Amino acid sequence: MINKYLSVVIPAYNEQENFQRGVLDQVFAYLIKAPFTWEVILVDDGSIDKTNELLNHFSKDKDGFIILKIKHGGKLKAIEEGVKAVKGEIILFSDFDQSTPISEFEKFIQEFKTGADIVIGSRTGPKSKRINDPWLRYFRSRVLNWVIKITLFKGIDDTQCGFKAFKKDIAQKLFFGLKATRLAKPVGGFMGPFDIELLFLAKKFKYNIISVPISWEYFPSKRLSVLSEPLRFLYDIFTIRKFDLLGKYKQ
């Protein structure tokens, strides 16, 4: 095994349309010029379109791109399988649609050098940028973040951005401790708040979390429900709180 500096874990579920935008070309173009060693773990979460075929075609002549195909288990399962396979010191979770360009990782590097355990992208604040974000989606995200602050923890203004990086050993410990979001059954492309449970555990066990303003662009998805997803999200948030009160989280 040859260790890397950065392992990028990208879950993929029915991403045929996103392929047409050349999102993986953007990832490759950035990393091939990066001044550090890297790998990309692309996890096909049981896609039923041509995603797996396209992933294999894309990666066949590109060193550093690894394809994992799993039975559909949802985003948590896909990322978890990626985390098990990584060789990097730092693990970056990045959404397949590249709503946050992978080049934004540049902003994370110094934070890890100066002692951060976890660095997360933030789409709020004057130095961040949100592009084409529908008002209803923005309003929904702010309400959910308000609920998180009341029920789980404070101090993080954007908990739901999919662009997050962890030191490898810390990520693996936190994934091992997930409980509430493991109970949810995967339904299509539902994201689930597993990363909220990760942050909850990280705050509970006093890891150093740094938020960094990033650029983010909204890309529509037919896989997600505007109405049912927030309800499931809220249910899982309150389950996390319940499990904490019951003493189920041990370091």
Task: Write down the domain spans for the chain.
Answer: 4-245
pLDDT tens digits for range 96-149: 999 999 999 999 999 999 999 999 999 988 899 999 988 888 888 888 889 999
Q: Is the distance from CB of 85 to CB of 1 less than 8 angstroms?
A: no
Residue 186 predicted with pLDDT over 70: no
179 against 228, higher pLDDT: 179
pLDDT tens digits for range 11-48: 999 999 999 899 999 999 999 999 999 999 999 999 99
CA distance 119 to 122: 10
Which of 99, 111, 95, 64 lies closest to 207, judged by CA?
Answer: 111
Contacts of 202 (CB under 8 A, 6+ apart): 117, 118, 170, 174, 209
Superfamily name and number for 4-245: Spore Coat Polysaccharide Biosynthesis Protein SpsA; Chain A (3.90.550.10)
